[in-house]
Every structure is written in structure tokens, then in C-alpha cells.
């Protein structure tokens, strides 16, 4: 934003995602005064929603029943009527898909990848991820106290949707004994074998990290709520399933914990602050160069522009041959396979 201001551009923020532009009421001035002193804050000063997809807008019939309809033409009209020259869309896979569809309709769009899940292709990192991993690692450190003193198995469910980045990175850093990832369907017997092996070695506690998208070899992903009108699947519940299975098979005292939205709050890490600012400046440079329908991404030591068509619909999962997965195995961490 400040980078845009340096060029003499006027900048506006859209509140509650695309919703704010559709209603016109959510367009607010976003100058240097408005963004002063926010670098160290979590969340967003503009608000957000995961129900504002203009291509799947939610309407309500007279009888109260909800239905989806396409309001993308209204959104393009609102954008042009506002006199804007470019749109910067900040978000994860869902936002990127919407942005690409809008670009195909002629809107000059540049995207900034922001999600704790780190599941976006075309960038090594999304901002928010490092902070979530740090929070999760700290939680694992704290859980060791009860696990060890009470000789329990603690099963911790971490976010990440269908990618295991948060679970893998924090699991290794937080000295987990088992890490279950969406990328590696798990065998509960292998998980229990690891816990028993630790028992035999006199280690009477274990920490099991489960990504919310992890699933058993012969089972399905645990959902709290299936995708509905204008919404996406809500994942959750795998930790309690795993905890029950471990307790039944090993006889150990087991506790399950869902870290949940704690992973999405609080002051961002230095890494995330810098990455977000680098992404923002790179987005301004892309606009200045007239490069649209792209996402800025971290690639090697620098930020590049990646065409959105190379990014959308291609979720980035943990590569099973990565050195991080290999490191986990070589440290003796069970991945449940
Ligand atoms: O995409 C980020 C994320 O935090 C996921 O890790 C999680 O599954 C989801 O959002 C939770 O969404 P909500 O806040 O709508 O429950």
C-alpha cells in the first residue's frame, strides 16, 4: 500500500472480500494514515468472509431457502463504475480461483497468496503459514508437560485443509512422535506400534500430531460440515477418532486437542511480516508494469509473477520425496505408514 502511495496512486480497501465491492458500501480509503502501525497485527483491518464468492453468491428465496447465483457481472460493473485501474486480491486457493475468473472477464487483477495452509502452487510460501507453524510448535512444547507427567498420549489436530504443511513443519519442530498427513493415509496399527515401542523404551508418553485432512488408509476425511450453499467443506474431528482408536488398542490414557483458530491469530512472525510486505511491493510493481492475471510468489531468493492459470486448481501438497519428510523419518518420527 505504501509502495503504491510512493508512486502517487490512490488506494482503497474493499471490506469483507468481494462482498464489499458488490454492495459498494464496503469500499474505504486505504491511505498511509489507515495502514499506519499495523505491521505487527494479525488478522485484517478490512474484515473478510468465505461466503462472498461472486460466482456462487448466496440468495434467499421468499420461503427462506438459500440458493447460489452468479453476480460476477455485477462485480465487474461495480469495479468499473468505481473508476479503479487494478484489483489486488489477497487470499488462498478460493480467492485465487475467483480472481482468475474475474481476470478472464477482463478485470486487471494481481493476487497475493495469503493462507496459513501454504497449499498454493507457484510460491514456496504463503504468508500466515510461518506464524501458524510457530503457534502450533509452541503448543506442542506446552503439551509435553502433561503428556510426560501424566504418562499420556496427546493427540493434536492442526489446520491445513487437504495439505499437511503445518502438521509436518510444527510436528518435527515440536518433537512429535507421530505425524499424520493428508498426503500419507495412515494405518492406525502402525501408529500404535510406535507408541508401544516408546513404552518399551521407557518413554511412557507420546505426542501425535494429526493434520485435519489426514485420513486412515481405508477411511475418509473427517468433516464437521459438508459443502453447502455458498460454503466449502469444514474439516474436523480426526483427532478424537485417532485418540479413541489408540486408547482402545493400547490401553493408554489418551487426550485429544483441536488447536483450531488459535493458529490463525496473534502477532505475525518476522518472516511473515517481511514476506507480506515483499508480496505487497511486488504486486504494486506488477501493476506498474501492466502485468495482470498473475500471482506474486516466493521463488528461490526472490518474488516472481506467476500466471494464475498455472496456480488455480492445483493445490500444492507436501511432496513425499522432500527432505523434510525424509528428515521426519530419519528422526524416528512415525508417519503412520
Ligand atoms: O484455510 C485456512 C483455514 O484455517 C483452514 O486451515 C481451515 O480448515 C479453515 O480455514 C477453517 O475455516 P473456518 O474459519 O471457516 O472454520
Render pLDDT for 187-210 as a digit per residue (tens, 0 to 9): 999 999 999 999 999 999 999 999
Residues 210 and 325 in one domain: yes
Ligand 1 centroid vs 126 CA: distance in angstroms?
Answer: 15
In a domain, residue 337? The reply is no
DSSP-assigned beta bridge partners for residue 216: 186
Task: Report the pLDDT value the prediction gives residue 2, as an integer from 0 to 100.
Answer: 85
In a domain, residue 79? The reply is yes
* DSSP structure string for 34-64: HHTT-TT--S-TT---SS--GGGEEEE-TTS
Q: What's the predicted TM-score (pTM) here?
A: 0.96
* DSSP structure string for 251-293: ---EEEEE-GGGGG-SPPPHHHHHHHHHHHHHHHHHHHTT--S
- Residue 120's φ and ψ, nearest 5 degrees, are -100, 130
How many domains are there within the chain?
A: 2
Cα dihedral across residues 246, 158, 311, 21: positive or negative: positive
CB distance 238 to ligand 1 below 6 Å:
no
Pocket perturbation via mutation, ligand 1, pick of 264, 265, 266, 316 by most ligand atoms within 8 A of CB:
264
What is the domain extent for residue 12?
A: 2-127+266-310
Residues 86 and 158 in one domain: no
Residues of the chain falling short of pLDDT 50: none
Which residue's alpha carbon is at the smallest distance from atom 11 of ligand 1?
A: 234
Render pLDDT for 239-265 as a digit per residue (tens, 0 to 9): 999 999 999 999 999 999 999 999 999
Amino acid at each position: 500500500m505504501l509502495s503504491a502511495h510512493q508512486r502517487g496512486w490512490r488506494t482503497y480497501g474493499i471490506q469483507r472480500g468481494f462482498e464489499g465491492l458488490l454492495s459498494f458500501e464496503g469500499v474505504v480509503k486505504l491511505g498511509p494514515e489507515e495502514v499506519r502501525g499495523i505491521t505487527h497485527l494479525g488478522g485484517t483491518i478490512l474484515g473478510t468472509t468465505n461466503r462472498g464468492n461472486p460466482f456462487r453468491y448466496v440468495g434467499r428465496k421468499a420461503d427462506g431457502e438459500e440458493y447460489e447465483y452468479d453476480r460476477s457481472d455485477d462485480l465487474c460493473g461495480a469495479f468499473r463504475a468505481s473508476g479503479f485501474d487494478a484489483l489486488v486480491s489477497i487470499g488462498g486457493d478460493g480467492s485465487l480461483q475467483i480472481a482468475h475468473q474475474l481476470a478472464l472477464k477482463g478485470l486487471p487483477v494481481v493476487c497475493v497468496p495469503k493462507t496459513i495452509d501454504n497449499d498454493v502452487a507457484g510460491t514456496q510460501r504463503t504468508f500466515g503459514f510461518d506464524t501458524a507453524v510457530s503457534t502450533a510448535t509452541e503448543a506442542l512444547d506446552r503439551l509435553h508437560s502433561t503428556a510426560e507427567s501424566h504418562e499420556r498420549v496427546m493427540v493434536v489436530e492442526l489446520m491445513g485443509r487437504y495439505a499437511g504443511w503445518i502438521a509436518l513443519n510444527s510436528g518435527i519442530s515440536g518433537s512429535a512422535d507421530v505425524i499424520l498427513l493428508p498426503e500419507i493415509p495412515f494405518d492406525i496399527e502402525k501408529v500404535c506400534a510406535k507408541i508401544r515401542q516408546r513404552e518399551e523404551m521407557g518413554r511412557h508418553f507420546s505426542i501425535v500430531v494429526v493434520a485435519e485432512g489426514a485420513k486412515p488408509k481405508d477411511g475418509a476425511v473427517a468433516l464437521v460440515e459438508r459443502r453447502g450453499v455458498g460454503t466449502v467443506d469444514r474439516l474436523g474431528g480426526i483427532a478424537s477418532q485417532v485418540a479413541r482408536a489408540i486408547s482402545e488398542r493400547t490401553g493408554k490414557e489418551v487426550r485429544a486437542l483441536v488447536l483450531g483458530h488459535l493458529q490463525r491469530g496473534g502477532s505475525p512472525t518476522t518472516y511473515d511480516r517481511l514476506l507480506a510486505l515483499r508480496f505487497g511491493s511486488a504486486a504494486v510493481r506488477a501493476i506498474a508494469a501492466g502485468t495482470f492475471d498473475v500471482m506474486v510468489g516466493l521463488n528461490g531468493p526472490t518474488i516472481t509473477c506467476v500466471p494464475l492459470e498455472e496456480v488455480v486448481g492445483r493445490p500444492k501438497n507436501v511432496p513425499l520425496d522432500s527432505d523434510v519428510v525424509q528428515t521426519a523419518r530419519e528422526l524416528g518420527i512415525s508417519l503412520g505408514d
